[in-house]
Structure 1
Amino acid sequence: MTATTPPTPPFRDTGLPFAKRIDDLLSRLTLDEKIGFLHQFGPAVERLGVAAFRTGQEALHGVAWMGPATVFPQAVGLGATWNEELVRRVGEAVSREARAMRVRDERVGLNVWAPVVNLLRHPLWGRNEEGYSEDPRLTSAIATAYTHGLRGDHPLYWRTAPVLKHWLAHNNETERDTTSSSVRPRVLHEYDLRAFRDTVEAGTVAGVMPAYNLVNGRPNHVSPYLREQLRTWTEEDLLVCSDAGAPSNLVDSEHYFDTHEEATAAALRAGVDSFTDHGTDSSTVIGRVRGALERGLLTEADLDTAVRRQLSVRFRLGEFDPGADPYAGKQPFDTPEHRALAQEAAEQAIVLLRNEDLLPLAPDTRIAVVGLLADECKLDWYSGSLIHRSTPLEGLYERFHADRVEFAEGVDRVLLKTSAGTFLHVPPAPEAPEPARGAEGALDPALLAGRTDLPPLTAGPAGSELALADWGEGVLTLRAPDGRYLSVAEDGYVRASADQPGGWIVQETFRLEPHGDCHLLRHVGTGRHVQVAADGVKVADDDPEVFELIVAERGEDAVTRAAARADVVVVVAGNDPHINGRETEDRTTLRLPAQQERLLRAARAANPRTVLVLTSAYPYAVDPSDLPAMLWTAHGGQAAGTALARVLAGDVSPAGRLPQTWYADDADLPDLLDYDVIGGRQTYLYFEGTPLFPFGHGLSYGAFSYGELTAGVVDSAVRVSFTVTNSGDVTADEVPQLYVRAVDPSVPRPRRELLAHRRVGPAPGETVELSFVLPLSAFAFWDVAVGRWRVEPGAYELLAGASSEDVRSRVTLTLDGEPAAARAVVERGLDGADFDEQSGVEIVDRDRSAGDAVTAVAGKEGELLFRRCDFGDGVTGVAVEVSGEGSAEVSVGDGPVLASLSPSAPTSGPYDYSTLRASFAVVDGVHDVRVRLRGPLRLARVGFSG
């Protein structure tokens, strides 16, 4: 008998389209296997030869959490380059390294969770470093470039499969899993959705991740916008991956559903395809899905829909076609090209904020480099481990020679004396073993934090002088003389055992709490006080040690000495990305920490030729009036120091541009939870104050002139052109920006709005012509009166320049659009959330699955204004759909109340609506309508009848 080869199943047939292959594989899976696929860590199906698969690999600015990798500038720094071509190359490098790392470590995933496209609406958001810009068009342009690089150029197979984070209107860490972003329709469409839409429509995205927060009272993990918006933008199967733990939040913290079975079913039906919950243990999620099926809350068809989307991504990644996958096998990792790209990105991200003829520095300049970040190359929560490292000090040593550069960190040197008269002492560390080396010979540094094999601190007659850095809000780090940070491990003992602050819960931060003339030392990570015990120094709930703080040297004294001896002082200030402003923690102020302000003042007093370099994940409010030069860069990755030194030396002319407004004072900021950028006059689009530095700002060592701006409508598009000339003698980049302003809009429109930009580098004396073709839809706004986009006819001013406020050329263009129509309230009624203006009102969920309602903010009287409502030949009645209790008063124009409606008794729940009716004297013609809300009444809709 001759053995026969079993036929190749259709899902393995590369000659078939993916859709048919997915159909075949899906038909072969059992119900239990499909359920298993719904967890982040999907098991293998050995009988079919299908491997295990997990969703999720962090890759925000390099492959993260998987050891050594090329570390590029933070996302906000990539946004500051305003350079899509560069960012595309960065994405390509990151995806190549992901593939390379996958070859040697199967834990490295190819479904990458990046980039973050949440808009940088509020600069106190703790995750400011993760976004690209406050502007939706710039954000989507940079995100499209990055995802293009991550995806690759092959028409069929993807190098990695990017997932956009975090859907939707997510811009606060404070109570992030229970707060609701109240987002009116215009803000939803013109602002928050726009950041996602262009990138999805570009075909470079495999999916999205919902955010922890609620939008309009409904958790994002059951958002109807996934179905009503996201999935209408593309014909591709988009994979929606939950954020970690968020499915459980639907019941545990948000109390939106009574049972996890209901919550799981609702999330799956809303469009969540992969549940990131309970770590690697899938049993809880599997149990919930089974329970939902048994209760009839889900069908197998619902599961099929989610599994199909997962399989679509896996097929595109080449998992089932190893012989045909063009990205399989060895890929570049830590190459000279990647290192050069990291440096190029760091250079292009630097923004010159101010320069009064101090920069660039001459080669023979004697420099004092000072500050808490002067010899630091900080990483953040979404960084990989550094293979290469360059601090500002190291970069300046390299560029200007060590004998011309003096360093003063500026930390306070302190001793901590106990009540017994002894001092805290750091035992010497044992000799460190040779660092392990990974692939390509790269160093694989071990994280020291959490080690318990090192001796804890003790107390004795000879104390250790500790470096105390105050990062603001009273949060301190303490460092041993050899540079190790004091840290607390799981056993509660204090050791000098960390190379940097870090971790999900930072264990390297402390607070000094006044206690009479002395202090208690509280460990922030555990909330416990430091105690001196016979077996070593530890944290405990009782018997805290009382310390006398003895300052051996003030940081500003060291800065003063160094500054006085130098030709120029470079003060490097900013933040540690793990402290006071990070995931789970918003900032409270724009001000620099007090210790850094003291260092800056000391440097300026000792030497007026002071350059302030802000290295930070977010903007600061710093008075620049007596600073001759000021620069900003996000934490710039592995080449940050080299890049900074080259810019200071003039080897590179800075051309980074601010991707968000820098406000002058905390008083300029809206409430962190006020998501109404229109009503709150937020971001450069609507802000009417004077910023410290405007959106798009950035200076150059070169000079550029702008030619005449011309614009016209051709083939249903607006064609715009102008020239830019390098009128100086320096080779430099410029970033021309094109904005629009509606001259006489019928509704509030942006003061100016970015339409297009381009980073160019004309040689000295060279002129380049810039042309942009803009669809008429670029001039549209979301018209709540008709529930769709509309281009308003009239005059539009186009402005070209070097920033949103530095306008060099302008022209006015008249567009034929669709005239405004009065609201047809008799035929269509008024949805409560479709207001033109409001005060004291928030938008809430009409029910758990879809729709909006409005209610008065607790403790306030709410008012809604609907403009230009057409009552036709006349109406004599009003009907309101409401739930809860309270009252709704309806009036026309500035006239008296026509009707006051209130339920006779509270409805049984927030989603139990009743219709209340009232009659009044006839009203005809076109009028504004006002609705006043009192009490916890939910208003879904207002209707009028004759």
Structure 2
Amino acid sequence: MKKTLLAIAVSLSCAACSNSVSSSGTSSPADATSPSSSVYLDTSVDIQTRVKDLVAQMTLEEKIGQMYNDAPAIERLGIPAYDYWNEALHGVARAGKATVFPQAIGMAAMWDKELMHSIATAISDEGRAKHHFYLNEGLSYRYTGLTFWSPNINIFRDPRWGRGQETYGEDPYLTGELGVAFITGLQGDNPDYLKTAATAKHFAVHNGPEISRHSDNYVVSDKDLYETYLPAFEKAVVEADVEAVMCAYNRINDLPACGSDMLLKDILRGQYKFDGHVMSDCGAIRDFYDPEAHDVVDAPAAAAAWAVTSGTDLNCGTGRLSTFANLNFAVQKGLIDERLIDQAVERLFMTRFKLGMFDDASKVEYAGISMDVVGSSEHQALTEKASAASMVLLKNNGVLPLDKNLKVAVIGPNANNEDVLLGNYNGLPINPVTPLEGLQQYLGKEQVTYAAGSAVIDDIYGHAEILDSRVLFHEADNGKLQSGLQGKYYKLASSPITDFTQLSFPTELSGDPVLTRVDNAMDFYFDRSPVDDTVLGNFGVVWEGVIKPERSGQYQFDSQAQISIDGSAVTAPVTLKAGQAYPIKITMHFADDKISNTSAIMRQQFTVRWVNTSEDLQARALANAKEADVVVVMAGITPRIEGEEMPVKLDGFNYGDRTDIDLPDEQKALLKALKKAGKPMVLVNFSGSAMALNWSNDNVDAIVQAFYPGEATGTALTKLLYGDINPSGRLPVTFYRNLDGFADFDDYAMQNRTYRYFTGEVLYPFGYGLDYSNVTYTDLQLPKTLNVGEDLSFSVTLNNNSEHTAGQVTQVYLHMPDAPVRVPQTELKGFSHDEVKAGSSTTLNMTIAADTLVYIDDNGAKQPYTGTLEVSVGDGQPQYANADKVQKANITIRR
């Protein structure tokens, strides 16, 4: 009977279903018999009825198991194992090769809803293809599913936050509009099935500090909550019908976000009418009882019961395991009614049914998307377009576009650093092009010189190189050295865990090598095991030979592998002499992590890199600069030092966050030294957050803010620098001069934060960006009066007085001076990204909806505005845009 049911669990092929079902973690109670009903398999019945039929046949233990992110199989019901955890922030992430688009903050800089929707559509195409590929191989690892935990629509309220790169910036309106475009692109437009399930996160009031996010209590006023922190979530639910919401780690007004009735019951399901499922951020339920976190309950069962009662349906546990495993005990002790568990499981299975996981694949149009779409030429062209659109020209004294006949010195720690292409939460790029490679391909290598110039910061380098056949050798049968290392590939044997303080299964090489070959470069992506050709299979490798440095120096190695040189383990920089052969051994076990349900080889490329830390990097850079006609400096920071809860403690950086917003000292020194060379200098800054580029603004000739622009960075950046592409990006965050006047990082009051409330002097304002064209604004036509409840419609003329076609971002800002409460000093309420041909004019018609013409009172309620309304339409905020690039008018709104 089990086999028959598995055969008709029709979202899967027979082979895939039987392979994906595992007895691990499933219960075997006495009453766990064959299903009493198969209504859940009948596609002529509505989904809600089917879901209720299926859940009603589960035992309590089975239902609880389905509330883990890595839900086990229920074989008797034909339910395969499924892991809800997948990521798609700016491309399918951590699931092998995929098209990598610009980081989220860069996509926000595009200010382009249509392009954002196209990107999300491409991502969901690749996600669907990958899911079915792995499904057909019988694999249900983390990162193989259709439930994507993206986008991150938190507000980037403070430039110190390391995860701000994952957001769409500091403005609630821009964030909400782009979030809707991204969500609808992920979820598709089929009336019967979701393409993928998007997740709006982190609900709510979540944006640092990283180091204390598990214990912080953020006290926010009703006004700030509804005016700043919630609007994007409301749009995600009400306008985009997002399928899932992730609750945050932090407490809000004393209650954990994943146990907040105010957030989850009153606002999310009450006011917004959300009908999808809610998951915890990973480990957030444990934070309820962890003495080093919130510590608001004494026991896991109480935490689990609290979270589910408030409306958290799914527990992402990660290495902390699943607190929801204690729900059985919570039911037994009367802490929670089983009906609430039924409700949670039904919500979860509604998502799986909407995705077509229990229907014949022929009925689900998205199931036919093939792996050919992954990294397709269309998607590569799209990411190049997005990369160019995400870059913001901050300064240009006329040096750009560059002359193609000039000899270029490319300098900087990020010039050949693949990290800055990718950001975080990324996939493995199909065709990564670094800035250096892009310029070399465009101009020819003979016209381009290169020097790193400095470290990124401290002992973190951007120019580490792959160990390859230039320095790696092995002894051939004839006794002579030949290029490459000899690699011996083994099967792995796994042992039971004996040390429960370290939850990983020990592995060892098993038997004789299955494969022996020469590998010329320590740079691999294994989509299949080399020892048995299974998709994502386990194996171990020992590479041996000698390493012969071309230059003497102290070398720092970067790899997850165990490395020994001359018989000694490499745990610190090693001094090596040029031309001397040193025995080297590199050992790596590629073993799945059963605890986290992750594959050893799908998440990242395996490399061994090294860098000579004793070189005088600045001297070489200066020598190159003196011989060049123009200097292009690729500087900034990297996702290795800003990001999520990172073990990084450096000057200016604190566990992923920042303590100042300057360039690292090493890079400031490099720029000042290069200035003395007297050559025209262009700075390209890579960062996921705002930088205080004060000295550069005063001293270099042009500045491009690149954020983390995706795998086509080098190609797109080069075209932008040489005028083949006209810059169109605009800042989604304010670039401040310093942090003077900022409140403490963990102070969540919005006073003096973001462009809406900041009263100090800024370096580059929110919405700012230059280009090679000259678009002016004239003839703003709008009514003089408006009644409450009426939309505001208007037109404006854009005139391109240049030889460059423009991708013009028109921004609409409103101010409500007659509001009876504090309101933003100016506030974005509309935008449009339009092409304006060289030498032409176009009239743009726009409408601001009546429900946007409101203010938030001190109780957090929306109130229709009456009185004078100050309207600004143009290229930037009214107080910063040039007079010919903005049109302003006042209208009166009456009751």
TM-score > 0.5 by shorter chain:
yes
Residue from 187, 202, 214 that aligns with 2:251: 214
CA contact (8 A) 2:149 2:201 kept: yes
CA contact (8 A) 1:487 1:497 kept: no
CA positional deviation for 1:790: 1.0
CA positional deviation for 1:365: 1.7
**1:90 maps to 2:133:** no
CA positional deviation for 1:768: 2.3
Aligned equivalents of 1:257 and 1:342: distance in 2? 47
Q: Which residue of 2 aligns with 1:433?
A: 519
CA positional deviation for 1:357: 0.6
Residue from 99, 109, 126 that aligns with 1:70: 99
Q: Which has the higher helix share?
A: 2
Q: Which residue of 2 aligns with 1:690?
A: 761
| Closer, same or farther: CA 727–463 of 1 in aligned 2, 3 Å | closer
**1:102 maps to 2:142:** no
**1:247 maps to 2:247:** no
**1:122 maps to 2:122:** no
CA positional deviation for 1:455: 7.5
| Closer, same or farther: CA 303–188 of 1 in aligned 2, 3 Å | same
**1:722 maps to 2:796:** yes
Higher RCO (Cα < 8 Å, 6 or more apart): 2
Alignment of 1:393-792 (within 5 A): 393-411=436-454, 430=485, 433=519, 435=524, 438=527, 453=542, 464-466=552-554, 479=556, 485-487=557-559, 553-584=615-646, 585-623=656-694, 624-677=697-750, 680-712=751-783, 713=786, 716-784=790-858, 788-792=861-865
CA contact (8 A) 1:62 1:383 kept: yes
Aligned equivalents of 1:595 and 1:753: distance in 2? 38
Aligned equivalents of 1:316 and 1:495: distance in 2? 58
Aligned equivalents of 2:91 and 2:333: distance in 1? 44
Q: Which residue of 1 aligns with 2:872?
A: 799
Q: Which residue of 2 aligns with 1:324?
A: 363
What amino acid maps onto 1:194 in structure 2?
Answer: P
Paired residues in the alignment total: 736
Secondary structure of the residue aligned to 1:150 is helix
Q: Which residue of 2 aligns with 1:148?
A: 184
Cα deviations across residues 290-336 of structure 1 (Å, max 9, x unaligned)? 11101111111101110111011011101111231111133322110
Residue from 223, 230, 234 that aligns with 2:260: 223
Aligned equivalents of 1:402 and 1:321: distance in 2? 55
Aligned equivalents of 2:79 and 2:400: distance in 1? 60
Secondary structure of the residue aligned to 1:674 is coil
CA contact (8 A) 2:283 2:320 kept: no
Secondary structure of the residue aligned to 2:43 is coil
CA positional deviation for 1:427: 8.5
Alignment of 1:806-885 (within 5 A): 806=881, 808-816=886-894
CA contact (8 A) 2:301 2:324 kept: no
Q: Which residue of 2 aligns with 1:874?
A: none
Does 721-730 or 160-169 show the bigger shift?
A: 721-730
CA positional deviation for 1:607: 2.9
Secondary structure of the residue aligned to 2:779 is coil
**1:182 maps to 2:219:** yes
Aligned equivalents of 1:334 and 1:633: distance in 2? 22
What amino acid maps onto 1:671 in structure 2?
Answer: D
CA positional deviation for 1:487: 4.7
- Which structure 2 residue ranges, 5 or more long, are not aligned? 9-34, 136-140, 460-470, 474-483, 487-517, 576-582, 588-610, 647-655
Secondary structure of the residue aligned to 1:327 is helix
Aligned equivalents of 2:551 and 2:618: distance in 1? 23
Q: Which residue of 2 aligns with 1:382?
A: 425
- Which structure 1 residue ranges, 5 or more long, are not aligned? 417-425, 467-477, 480-484, 499-506, 513-518, 520-533, 539-548, 818-946
| Closer, same or farther: CA 15–167 of 1 in aligned 2, 3 Å | same
Secondary structure of the residue aligned to 2:369 is coil
CA positional deviation for 1:351: 0.3
Q: Which residue of 2 aligns with 1:263?
A: 303
What amino acid maps onto 1:433 in structure 2?
Answer: D
Q: Which residue of 1 aligns with 2:175?
A: 139
CA contact (8 A) 1:151 1:204 kept: no
Secondary structure of the residue aligned to 1:328 is helix
Secondary structure of the residue aligned to 1:229 is helix
Cα deviations across residues 96-128 of structure 1 (Å, max 9, x unaligned)? 111111122233010000010111111110112
Cα deviations across residues 239-266 of structure 1 (Å, max 9, x unaligned)? 1111111111110121111111111000
What amino acid maps onto 2:409 in structure 1?
Answer: A
Aligned equivalents of 2:565 and 2:202: distance in 1? 37
| Closer, same or farther: CA 16–732 of 1 in aligned 2, 3 Å | same
CA contact (8 A) 1:120 1:128 kept: yes
Residue from 384, 389, 407 that aligns with 1:366: 407
Cα deviations across residues 754-811 of structure 1 (Å, max 9, x unaligned)? 00001111112332222222233312222226x5211232111001121122161111
CA contact (8 A) 2:800 2:837 kept: yes
| Closer, same or farther: CA 295–537 of 1 in aligned 2, 3 Å | same
Q: Which residue of 1 aligns with 2:30?
A: none
Secondary structure of the residue aligned to 1:116 is coil
| Closer, same or farther: CA 158–626 of 1 in aligned 2, 3 Å | same
Q: Which residue of 1 aligns with 2:480?
A: none
What amino acid maps onto 2:50 in structure 1?
Answer: R
CA contact (8 A) 1:652 1:732 kept: no
Aligned equivalents of 1:462 and 1:144: distance in 2? 53
Secondary structure of the residue aligned to 1:637 is coil
| Closer, same or farther: CA 800–299 of 1 in aligned 2, 3 Å | same
**1:196 maps to 2:270:** no
Aligned equivalents of 2:171 and 2:369: distance in 1? 38
Cα deviations across residues 393-421 of structure 1 (Å, max 9, x unaligned)? 1111111222211111113799x9xxxxx
CA contact (8 A) 1:60 1:75 kept: yes
CA contact (8 A) 1:237 1:312 kept: no
Aligned equivalents of 2:374 and 2:677: distance in 1? 46
CA contact (8 A) 2:854 2:865 kept: yes
Percent identical among aligned pairs is 34
CA contact (8 A) 2:85 2:148 kept: yes
CA contact (8 A) 1:658 1:698 kept: yes
- TM (normalized to structure 1)? 0.73
CA positional deviation for 1:438: 4.7
Cα deviations across residues 256-288 of structure 1 (Å, max 9, x unaligned)? 111111110000011110111145965x632x1
CA contact (8 A) 2:563 2:584 kept: no
Secondary structure of the residue aligned to 2:674 is helix
**1:44 maps to 2:73:** yes
Q: Which has the higher strand share?
A: 1
CA contact (8 A) 1:358 1:629 kept: yes
CA positional deviation for 1:13: 2.0
What amino acid maps onto 1:257 in structure 2?
Answer: V
Secondary structure of the residue aligned to 2:289 is helix
Aligned equivalents of 2:716 and 2:741: distance in 1? 33
What amino acid maps onto 2:857 in structure 1?
Answer: D
- TM (normalized to structure 2)? 0.77
Aligned equivalents of 1:118 and 1:700: distance in 2? 29
Aligned equivalents of 1:461 and 1:706: distance in 2? 60
Secondary structure of the residue aligned to 1:589 is coil
